[in-house]
Amino acid sequence: MRVCVFCGSSPGRSVGYVRGARAFGRVLAEAGVGLVYGGASVGLMGAVADAVLEFGGEVIGVIPEALVAREVAHEGLGDLRIVSSMHERKALMSELSDAFVALPGGIGTLEELFEVWTWGQLGIHPKPCGLLDIDGFYRGLTSFLDHVVAEQFLKPVHRGMLLVEPDGARLLARLRAYVAPDVTKWIGRAES
């Protein structure tokens, strides 16, 4: 199994974010689960990759040429795949992965997570998506998503597709046990 991790290229304000990213990297490595990520050496991206490597795990980095030129590529990876665009990056990361997890990050992290979650909702893939809610980072987002359900723009079953845990080992267990729902995305008038 390989888990694709989306996360910040910055470490964030709290030292807990780096600590949490490193802890999740260790969980993956000790469970024999490979990491697929954006290929950078900086921020939470570098922290999770370094931890997986430190504990003997598999790491595949996927990075666009433009970011390699900016010298943010992780030079310690045995498998760094360089692609021509962000679109290629996301497609390859998806292809290589069995599950997706977002750690704290900015708009790029959210964009990547929402895209793969949408693909799951549409039945394009059956892979689980999760949030590792380090230090309550995603509390506001999960509250907003519950509001989206209440306003009938998202079915509860599709909201439930996004697994949320503050603990990396529990999140990994839920990813492994995940079964994609077989429910259409569209909310009809009879359901509203």
* 43-54 helix and 15-30 helix, angle to the nearest 10 degrees: 30
Counting every residue written for the chain, the total comes to 192
Residues forming a β-bridge with 164? 131
Interatomic CA distance for residues 162 and 101, integer angstroms: 9
Q: Of 105, 86, 89, 112, give the one whose Cα is nearest residue 7.
A: 105
For 141, the 3-state DSSP assignment is: helix
Question: pLDDT tens for residues 116-169?
Answer: 999 999 999 999 999 999 999 999 999 999 999 999 999 999 999 999 999 999
Q: Could you tell me the fold of the domain covering 2-177?
A: Rossmann fold (3.40.50)
Question: pLDDT tens for residues 22-50?
Answer: 999 999 999 999 999 999 999 999 999 99
- Confidence at residue 70, expressed as pLDDT on a 0 to 100 scale: 77
- Confidence at residue 21, expressed as pLDDT on a 0 to 100 scale: 98
For 186, the 3-state DSSP assignment is: coil
Q: Residue 186 — pLDDT band, cuts 50, 70, 90?
A: low
Q: Are 80 and 63 in contact (CB under 8 A)?
A: yes
The whole-model pTM stands at: 0.94
Question: pLDDT tens for residues 61-110?
Answer: 999 999 887 778 999 999 999 999 999 999 999 999 999 999 999 999 99
